Amino acid sequence: MRATLLRLEGLTKAYPGVVANDDVSFQIAEGQVHALLGENGAGKSTLVKMIYGLVQPDKGQMTLRGQPFAPSQPSEARRNGVAMVFQHFSLFDALDVAENVALGMENPPPLRDLAARIRSVSEEYGLPLDPSRLVGELSAGERQRVEIVRCLLQEPKLLIMDEPTSVLTPQEVEILFRTLRQLSAEGTAILYISHKLEEIRALCDEATILRGGKKVATCDPRQKSASELAELMVGQVLTPPEKPPRPMGDVVLQVENLSLRSNNPFGTSLKDISFSLRAGEVLGIAGVAGNGQDELLLMLSGELLAPSAQVTLKGLPVGHLGPNARRQIGLASAPEERLGHAAAPDMSLTENALLSGVARKGLARRGFIDWPGTERFAQEVITRFDVRTPGTHVLARALSGGNLQKFVIGREIELNPDVIVVNQPTWGVDASAAATIRQALLDLAGKGAGVVVISQDLDELLEVADSFAALNEGRLSRVRPAKGLTVEEIGLMMGGAGDMHVAHEASA
Amino acid sequence: MIRLEKRKEPSKFWRIANPFLAVLLTMLAGGIMFAMLGKDPITAIRLIFFDPIFSDTFGSYSRPQLLIKSAPLILIAVGLAIGFKANIWNIGAEGQYIMGALFGAGVALAFFPQPGWYIFPLMIIAGAFGGFLWAMIPAILKTRFNTNEILVSLLLVYVAERILAAMSLGLMRNPDIPGFPGSRDLRRYEAAYNSELIANTGIHWGVVAALIAVIFAYVMMTRHMLGYHVRLAGQAPRAARFGGVTPARLVVVCLGISGALAGLAGMFEVSGPGGQVRIEFASGYGFTAIIVAFLGRLNPVGIVLAGLLLGLTYIGGELGQMMLQLPSASIQVFQGMLLFFLLALDFQTNFRLRLTKGARA
Amino acid sequence: MILGSINPAVLMAALMVAATPLLLAAIGELVVEKSGVLNLGVEGMMIMGAVTGFMIAVNTGSPLVGFVGAALGGMVLALLFAFLTQALMTNHVASGLALTLFGLGLSALLGQKYVGITPPRTPKLDLGPLSDIPFLGRALFSHDIVVYLTIALVAAVWWFLKYSRAGMILRAVGENHDAAHALGYHVKRVRVLAILFGGACAGLGGAYLSLIRVTQWTEGMTVGAGWIALALVVFASWRPWRAMAGAYLFGGIVVLQLNLQAAGVRIPVEYLSMSPYLITILVLVLISSGKARGSLNAPGSLNRPFHASS
C-alpha cells in the first residue's frame, strides 16, 4: 500500500444558486493515477480549483502528506508540489514557449538556462518542443506539451490534468499516456479529470465519480464496465440515438477545391477542400481543435466568403453569398461557440430567435420586425426542444450550456433547412441534452436534409455519421463510409496520414 | 469582505434610477466645489439648475434658451448613441458640427442676397451633407484600412477647427466689414435665417429636426432590423456576422447617421442662434453630446431628458458667470463629474454588492 | 529660398523639445495598453499635469518640484480611471472620454489665476565640451535634463518589457487575462499599477509643455497632444523604440511647420497648423493597413473587461 499524498475531507463550495461541491472526500496515494469522473457541471472543475488554490472551500479541509493544506493562491499550491495542466485559458499566444513556461513557475531560472531545461525535459518525456517559438503558432497538441513541460519542470508531487485528451488524436493520446505512466512510475501522483470512460479504464488506478456536486463512488475503474461507470456518472441508463436506415438523395451541398485564408492571424487557413453531401446523409468531420474547424463552418455558413462557384447549394453557386442569402436557399448552421457567436449573451431568447430566424421565417417585413411572430417562433423552439427556461424574455447567458445549446440547434432545425452544418453540437453539454441534440439531427436527416457534423468527439461522430472525413491543418481527408472504420484509421486520418495510408494499401 | 457578483440579468431599476442619482451626486459634489471656490453652494446650485426655468427675473429670457441649447445636444447625441450601441465610437461630432455649419453657411453666402424659398432647404441638405462627409473620413479609413475611428474622428475636430478659422478669416469673411473676422450675419438674410417658429419659445427648425430624429431613432432601434443589427454588433460582433451583418456597412451607416445629424445641428446653429461663421463658433456641443448620450442611456427618450438637463447647465452656467462670477470652466467640470458618477453608479446595474464572511477557510 | 533660412541644427534641437511631451505620454500609454487597458484619458491627464506642474513650480519656484507635482496630478486622474475600470468595471472608452472632458474642465478651473504668468526657468543641462561640438552640440547636447531622462525612460521601459519578470507578467496579463488569472497572477493589481504609471508619464508630458516648451499656462493648451500620443502607440505597434522614432518624426513635422509659418510661406497659418493632425491620420492609415504585423503585436486582451468568475 502506497502512502497517502493528498486527503480531501468534506470539501464544500457553494456559489449563489448552486452548490458546486457538497461534502466531497477522497484520497490520492503517491504515484497513483486517480480519475475524477463526472459530467459537465458535476463539480470537477471547482474541486480541482480548490486543490490548486484558485478557489477557497467554504467548508472541509485538505491534508498533503499529513500536513494541513489550504492554498490561498496557485503559487502556494505550486510551492507545495501541486501542478496543473488546464483545459483552456492558460497560455499566451504572443509570448514564446520559454516565457510561457516561466510564467507558470515559482522561481524560474534565467530564460537562457530555462530553454535548455525545456529541451532536456521535453525530450526525456517524449514531448519535443522548441522553446523559442511563439505559442500562437503551435498546434493544439504542442500547446498542451507546453503546459505539461511547464508542470514537469517543477517536479510536482501531484499533477492535475483537466480533460487533456480532448485536443489530441488517438495516436497523441497514446504518447500522452506513456508519459503519464512514466511519471506515475517515478512516484508522481496524477489527478486525471475526464468524462471519457474508456480512457479512464485504460489509464487510471482509481476513480472518484462526482454527480451534481456530490461524490457518488470511489472505485477501481478497471473492475467496472464502461456502462456501469456511465450509469454512476449520469445517474440513469441512456439509450443511444436511433439511426433508422434512410435513402440517400441528390447532392445538396458541394465544395470544390476551395482554399481560403483565415480571418484570424492565429487561425488555420483552408487548403484545397473538396467534398459533397447528399440529402439524408450525415457527414462527420473529425479533427483536433484548431485544424480549421471554425474556418470550415464560417465558409459554409457564409460568414467567410469564397469564390462563388466553389460552393454550391442545391446546384446553385453560393460562395459569394452571405449567411442570410444562404439561409433563404436552405442552409442553416450552428457554430461551436454558443455564447457570443450562435447567440448574443445579453439578448433575450426572443431576440436570439430572430438572429437566424428572420431569413426563413418571414419575421421582418421591409425591415420592420414582427416581434409577436418572433416570440411565437422562440416559444416553438423552447417547447419542441424542451429548453428549460422561465420564458422567452430570459437572456441567453442566463441559460445553462445544455439548454442554450438545445435552443440554438433547435432554432436552426425549426428553420427546416435542406442542409445543416453544426460544429461541436454537444460540447460541454450534459448527457441527456447531448442525446436529445444528436437525435434531433438524425431525425432531420431522416426527413431528407443533408447534415454536416464537425466534432472533436469521436464517439459522437461514430454514433451519428454515415460518412466520415477528418480535418488536418486546414486540409480535409477523403470522405469515407463510416461503417467499418477503426479508431486507428480515424487517428491516421486526423493526423493527416489517412489518405497516404489508403494509397499505400492500394499500391501494395 | 465585499464581493462584486454579476447579476443574471441587468437591473432595470438601477438602469433608470442611476442617471437621477448621478445628477444628485453631481449637485452635491458641485456644491462642495463651489464652496471651495468661496461661493455659496446653495445659491450656485439653484442658479444653475432652477433659476433658468423658475426664476421670475431670468425665466423669461432663459426659458426659450433651454430649447435652443438642448436641441443641438439632442440632435447630435441621438446619432452618437446609435453608433455607441454598435461599439462604433464617433467622438468627433464637434468636427462634423463645424463642417455642417460651414457647408450650410456656404450655401447661404453663395446665394446672398437673393431671396428664395428653396435656399433654406438647400442649406439643410448641405449641412447634413457636410457632417456626413466629415464622418465618412473615419468611416472609410476604418473599413478600407482598419484605422481606429476614435482617433481619426477626434483628430479631425482639430482640423475642422482650423478650417473654421481659415473660413472666418478668408473665404467666408464679410466683405462689407473689412478687418473683422467672421462672415455675414445670416440672421439678417431672410432666405437663410433659421428663425424662431413660435415667438418666445426658442423653437426653431433645429428643435423640430431634433424631435423628428428622436422619433426616427426610437423606431429604428426598437422595430427595425437595422436597429437590431446595431445592438447585435455592439453586444456580440461574432453573433452579428452570423446574423448576416456586414461590419463595414454598419460602420458607414452609423458614422454616416451621426455625422449627418451633427452637421444638421451645426447648420441650424449657424443660421439661427449662432448667426455667423466665426472663429469661436464651436462651443463644445459635440463633446457635451457624448455625455448626453451616456446619461440618456443611449436611448432616444432618455437622450431628450439628458439633453434638456445639460442644456440647462449651459444656461445656468452663463447665469452663474453673470451673477456669482462663477468661472466658465466650472460647468465643464460639472459635466465631466456627471459622466463619472453615472459610470461609477452603473456597476449596480450589472453587479450586486455582496457581503461575505471572511471566506478564507 | 525659404527652406534655406532654416538652420538644420536648430531644427533638430527644436524637434527634440517638441517630441518630448508626446514621447512621455506615449511611453506611459504604451505600458498601459501592454497590460490590456485602453486609457483614452491621456489628453485629460496631460493637461492636469500641465496645470498642476505649472502651479506648483510657480509657487515653489522649483521646476523639479513642479514635475513631481505634475506626475502626481496625472496619477490622481489615472487613479480615478483605474477605480472606475478595474473596481467598478465600467466601459473603458466611456471612462477615458470622461477623464479627458473632466481633466480639461478641472485644469481650466485650477489654472484660471495662472494665465499670463511665466514659470521658473528649467536650466539646460551642462554637458561641457559635448555642447561645443559643431552641429551635434547644438542639435543634441544643448537640452534640459528632461529630454535625456525621457530617452532613458524609453530604454528602461524597453528593458522592463523585454527582460524583466515583472514586465513579462505585465505582457501576459495584457495578452490573456484569463490565463494569467488561472496561473494566479493578480490581473487587476498589475493593471492598476500600469494605469498609474501611464498617468504619471502623461502628467510629466503635460508639465513639459507648460514649464519648458511653451513656458506659460493657457486653457486647453495640450490641443490634442494626448490624442496624438495615443496614435503614436498604435504607430509604434506597442514597441518603445518605435514610439520614440514616431515622436521624433512627429516633432520634426511640428517644428518644420512652425518654421514655415515663421518663414512666411504663402499658405495660411490655419492650413499649416492642421498638418500635424492630418499627418497623424495618414500615419495611422499606413500602419493599420499593413494589417498582419501591427495587429499581431496588439495585446490580446486590450480593451476587454476582466471579471474573475471563480
ipTM of the complex, rounded to two decimals: 0.87
| Contact residues on chain C for B339, CB-CB shorter than 8 A | 94, 97-98, 101-102
| pLDDT per position as a tens digit, A384-408 | 999 988 899 999 988 888 899 999 9
Q: Is the pLDDT of residue B71 over 60?
A: yes
Which domains does chain C carry?
3-297 (1.10.3470)
Residues of B in contact with C108 (CB under 8 A): 327-329, 332
Q: For residues A199 and A71, state if they share a domain.
A: yes
**Per-residue H/E/C for B140-176:** HHHHHHCCCHHHHHHHHHHHHHHHHHHHHHCCCCCCC
| Interface membership of A70 toward B (CB under 8 Å) | yes
Question: Looking at CA atoms only, how far is residue B271 from chain C in angstroms?
Answer: 24
Q: Which CATH number fits domain B38-326: 3.40.50, 2.60.40, 1.10.3470, 1.25.40?
A: 1.10.3470
Question: Which parts of A138-260 are beta strand (E)?
Answer: 158-162, 189-194, 206-211, 214-219, 251-260
Cα–Cα distance measured from residue B145 to residue B280, given in angstroms and rounded to the nearest whole number: 34
Which residues make Cβ contacts (< 8 Å) with residue B216, sequence separation at least 6?
none
- B329 to chain C, any CB pair closer than 8 A? The answer is yes
d(CA A286, CA A268): 15
Query: Does one domain contain both A136 and A14?
Result: yes
**Residue A273 within any structural domain of the chain:** yes
> Residues in chain A, how many?
508
- pLDDT value for B359: 40
Same domain, A148 and A219: yes
Query: Does residue A242 belong to any structural domain of this protein?
Result: no
Find the Cα–Cα–Cα–Cα dihedral B96, B98, B103, B105, rounded to 10°.
150
Distance from CA of B340 to the nearest CA of C (A): 6
Average pLDDT, chain C: 87
Q: What is the pLDDT of residue B9?
A: 74
What pLDDT score does A240 carry? 66
Cα(C211)–Cα(B213) distance, integer angstroms: 47
Residue C169 touches chain A, beta carbons under 8 Å: yes
Q: Does residue A381 belong to any structural domain of this protein?
A: no
Closest residue on chain B to A398 (Cα): B8
Interface test with A, best of C183, C297, C301, C302 (most A CBs within 10 A): C183
| Total count of domains within chain A | 2
A456 domain residue, yes or no: yes
Query: Is the Cβ pair B361, A342 closer than 8 Å?
Result: no
Q: Is the pLDDT of residue B19 over 80?
A: yes
Q: Who wins on pLDDT, C90 or C23? A: C23
**CA proximity to B69, closest of B82, B53, B57:** B53
Among chain C residues, the shortest Cα distance to A46 is held by: C310
Identify the residue among B134, B333, B341, B342 best suited for mutation to test binding to C, counting C beta carbons within 10 A and taking the highest: B333
- Determine the distance in angstroms separating the CA of A71 from the nearest CA of chain B, rounded to an integer: 10
Q: Mind giving me the DSSP string for B218-238?
A: HHHHHHBHHHHHHHHHHH-HH
Q: Are strands A33-37 and B2-6 parallel, antiparallel or unpaired?
A: unpaired
For the record, the C-alpha cell of B151 comes out as 482617433
Burial C129-153 (b: 16+ CB within 10 A, else e): eebeeeeebbbbbbbbbbbbbbeeb
Residues A124 and A23 in one domain: yes
By Cβ distance, the residue of B10, B243, B246 closest to A356 is B243
Yes or no: say if C168 and A99 are a contact pair by the CB < 8 Å rule: yes
A379 in any annotated domain:
no
Query: pLDDT > 70: what percent of chain B?
Result: 97
Q: Is the Cβ–Cβ distance between A55 and A49 less than 8 Å?
A: yes
How far does the CA of residue A104 sit from the closest CA of chain C (Å)? Answer: 6
H or E element, residue A147: helix A140-152
A204, A192 contact by CB (below 8 A): yes
Claim to verify: residue A77 and residue A160 sit in the same structural domain: yes
Q: Which of B1, B5, B228, B242 is the mutation pick for testing A, counting most A CBs within 10 A?
A: B242
Mean pLDDT over C106-110 rounds to: 92
The neighbour count for residue B236, using CB atoms within 10 Å, is 25
Is pLDDT above 90 for A105? no
pLDDT at A284: 95
Q: Does B239 sit within 8 Å of A355, measured CB to CB?
A: yes
For residues C74-98, give the mean pLDDT.
91
Q: Nearest C-alpha of chain B: how many angstroms from C132?
A: 40
Provide the 8-state DSSP code for A395.
B
In percent, how much of chain C has pLDDT > 70? 94
Q: Return the C-alpha torsion angle C124, C125, C126, C132, nearest 10.
A: -70
Q: What is the pLDDT of residues A231-273, one digit of tens each?
A: 888 777 666 667 777 778 899 999 999 999 887 777 889 999 9
Q: Where are the domains of chain B?
A: 38-326
Task: With CA atoms as reference, report the closest residue to A139 among A127, A150, A151.
Answer: A127
- Classify A259 as helix, strand or coil: strand
The set of cell numbers assigned to C117 is: 504668468
Rounded to whole angstroms, what are the CA distances from A71 to A54, A160, C2, C108?
8, 15, 73, 51
Using CB atoms, list chains with 3+ pairs below 8 Å to chain B. Answer: A, C
Query: Mean pLDDT over residues A493-505, rounded?
Result: 57
Question: Computed from CA positions of residues A56, A62, A64, A67, in that sequence, does the dihedral angle turn out positive or negative?
Answer: positive
pLDDT above 60 (res B314) = yes
Q: Judge: C274–B159 Cβ closer than 8 Å, yes or no.
A: yes
For A445-468, write each residue's pLDDT tens digit.
999 999 999 998 888 888 899 999
How much is the average pLDDT of A74-83?
90
Domain membership of residue A486 as a residue range? 251-338+417-507
- The band of C296, judged by pLDDT with boundaries at 50, 70 and 90, is low
Residue A94: what pLDDT?
A: 87
d(CA C142, CA C12): 11
One domain for residues A228 and A279: no
Best probe of the C interface among A44, A72, A92, A135, by most C CBs < 10 A, is A92
Paired with B354 in beta bridges are B3
In angstroms, the CA A300 to CA A468 distance is 17
User: C186 falls in which pLDDT band (50, 70, 90)?
Assistant: very high
Name the least confident of A445-454, C139-148, C207-216: C139-148
* Mean pLDDT taken over chain A: 88
User: Which of A234, A262, A294 is the last residue before a domain boundary?
Assistant: A234
- Scanning chain B, the segments in alpha helix (DSSP H) are 12-36, 41-49, 51-54, 56-85, 93-111, 119-145, 149-169, 205-223, 225-235, 237-242, 247-270, 285-295, 300-324, 329-345, 347-350
Please tell me the predicted confidence (pLDDT) of residue A157. 92
The residue that leads in pLDDT, B356 or C43, is C43
Chain A residues touching residue C184 (CB < 8 angstroms): 53-54, 73-75, 78
Report the distance separating Cα A10 and Cα A23, nearest Å.
Answer: 4
In angstroms, the CA A499 to CA B293 distance is 59
pTM of the model: 0.88
Cell of A243: 439511426
Residues of C in Cβ contact (< 8 Å) with B333: 102, 105-106, 109
Is the model's pLDDT at A330 over the cut of 80?
yes
Selecting from A53, A91, A265 the residue whose C-beta is nearest the C-beta of C184 gives A53
Cβ contact A102–C165 (<8 Å)? yes
Predicted local confidence at residue C141, as pLDDT: 76
* Cross-chain CB nearest to C178 (options A89, A93, A103): A89
A189 and A302 fall within a common domain: no
CB-CB contact of A11 with A60 (8 Å): yes
Q: C174: which 3 cell numbers?
A: 495584457
How much is the pLDDT for C207? 96
